């Protein structure tokens, strides 16, 4: 197991380097001078060549590109992602400040996705071809074809404006978390239900399932102990990817519900051309996404010895 973990961690290094290279390159390929953009974005009035040169020096833009990239990576490793133009504070500080709210939303969304999606998928698989199956699959189909923001707006319309159950906007409180979490969770629940259904149907044809049925075990016991356990492996992988989708989905959901999170921060900083902040926040989210998927891989290596010992 230790060798597997070490191997996976080592594989992460080149991917991280490439991810940082992509983020860095995209921000440097900008048509125009970042220092000039920064000056015209942050400070009004005339832009003097002296001020421009001073800022270029300060930002390290006068160095060769390779050196700039090296500085960026070394800085990032020490938690230094530069300073935001708009807020004039370190990017890392802003990110950590906002990430809590985003993480909370993503976790709540994932929780709802599991609580809703798993039973739906299992019922659909157990009653394959029945009306519950068709209903579940139709719902999950509609769910995965729906714009995230639109579902959010519908939920606000019904549960906030009409029924007055939950607030329509804001962050901080538990009530304010419910509608955004459902917005994210319902969409992922559809994907999850479909995956669990197909995974359980696949497992159902395995020899051990036939044995379990042949020796007369209760159908419920067969489904839970023998079926679900084995059907969970592909589902777990998918959950890792879904968590990434949820993190990304927060970008839109936070806008719909005016939640002060990292996604909203990224959109605002793109609109206000706050490049150090965009660069840092996107790199941060990509790294979180990679780490979550690594954790998922490790989790099922722990659950399934075949993965650990295979190649």
Partner 1 sequence: MATETLDVGATERPVRLAMGRYFSHPGAVIGLIILVCWILVTIFAPILAPYDPNELVSRARQAPSADHWLGTDMLGRDVLSRVIYGSRISISIGFIAVLLGGVSGVILGLLAGYFAGWVDTVISRFVDALLAFPSILLALVVIAALGASIQNMMIAVGIATLPDYARLVRGTVLAIKSQPYVEAARLVGNSHLRILARHILINVNAPIVVLATLQIGSAILIGAGLSFLGLGAQPPTPEWGLMSAEGRQMLQRAWWISTFPGVAILSVVIACNLVGDGLRSALDPKMRMG
The verdict on 191 binding partner 1 (CB under 8 A) reads no
Q: Is 244 in the site for partner 1 (CB under 8 A)?
A: yes
Please report whether residue 282 would count as binding partner 1 according to CB under 8 A: yes
- The only residue of 21, 74, 135, 303 in contact with partner 1, by rule CB under 8 A: 21
**The one segment of 39-47, 52-60, 70-78, 242-250 that binds partner 1 by CB under 8 A:** 242-250
> Which residue, 27 or 236, has its beta carbon nearer to partner 1?
27
- Give the whole-angstrom CA distance, residue 144 versus residue 159: 21
Q: Is 9 in the site for partner 1 (CB under 8 A)?
A: no
Say whether residue 15 binds partner 1 (CB under 8 A).
yes
**Torsion, CA 118, CA 122, CA 124, CA 129, rounded to 10:** 160
For partner 1, the binding residue among 112, 148, 177, 189 (CB under 8 A) is 148
Task: Tell me: does residue 68 bind partner 1 (CB under 8 A).
Answer: no
Per rule CB under 8 A, is residue 161 in the interface with partner 1? yes
Instruction: Report the residue number, 105 or 222, with the smaller CB distance to partner 1.
Output: 105
The rounded distance, in Å, linking the Cα atoms of 108 and 237 is 19
Instruction: Return residues touching partner 1 (CB under 8 A).
Output: 14-15, 18-19, 21-23, 26-27, 29-30, 141-142, 144-150, 153-154, 156-157, 161, 244-245, 247-249, 251-252, 255-256, 266-267, 270-271, 275, 278, 282, 285-286, 289-290
């Amino acid at each position: 197991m230790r060798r597997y973990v070490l191997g996976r961690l080592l594989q992460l290094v080149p991917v991280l380097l490439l991810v940082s290279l992509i983020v860095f390159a995209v921000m440097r390929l900008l048509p125009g001078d970042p220092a000039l953009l920064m000056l015209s974005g942050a400070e009004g009035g005339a832009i003097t060549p002296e001020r421009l040169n001073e800022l270029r020096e300060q930002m390290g833009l006068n160095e060769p590109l390779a050196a700039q990239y090296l500085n960026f990576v070394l800085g990032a490793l020490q938690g230094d992602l530069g300073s935001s133009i708009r807020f004039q504070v370190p990017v890392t500080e802003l990110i950590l400040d906002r990430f809590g709210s985003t993480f909370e939303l993503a976790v709540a969304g994932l929780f709802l996705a599991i609580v809703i999606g798993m039973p739906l998928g299992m019922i659909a698989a157990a009653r394959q071809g029945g009306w519950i199956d068709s209903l579940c699959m139709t719902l999950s189909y509609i769910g995965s074809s729906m714009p995230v923001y639109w579902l959010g707006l519908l939920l606000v319309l019904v549960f906030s404006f009409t029924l007055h159950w939950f607030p329509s906007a804001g962050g901080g409180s538990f009530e304010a978390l419910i509608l955004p979490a459902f917005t994210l969770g319902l969409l992922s629940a559809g994907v999850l239900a479909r995956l669990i259904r197909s995974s359980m149907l696949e497992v159902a044809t395995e020899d051990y399932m036939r044995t379990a049925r042949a020796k007369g075990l209760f159908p419920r016991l067969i489904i839970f102990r023998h079926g679900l356990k084995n059907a969970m492996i592909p589902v777990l992988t998918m959950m890792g990817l879904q968590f990434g989708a949820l993190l990304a989905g927060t970008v839109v959901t936070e806008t719909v519900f005016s939640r002060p999170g990292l996604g909203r921060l990224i959109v605002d900083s793109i609109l206000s051309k706050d490049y150090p902040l965009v660069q840092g926040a996107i790199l941060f989210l990509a790294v979180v996404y990679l780490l979550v998927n690594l954790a998922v891989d490790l989790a099922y290596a722990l659950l399934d010895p075949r993965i650990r010992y295979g190649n």
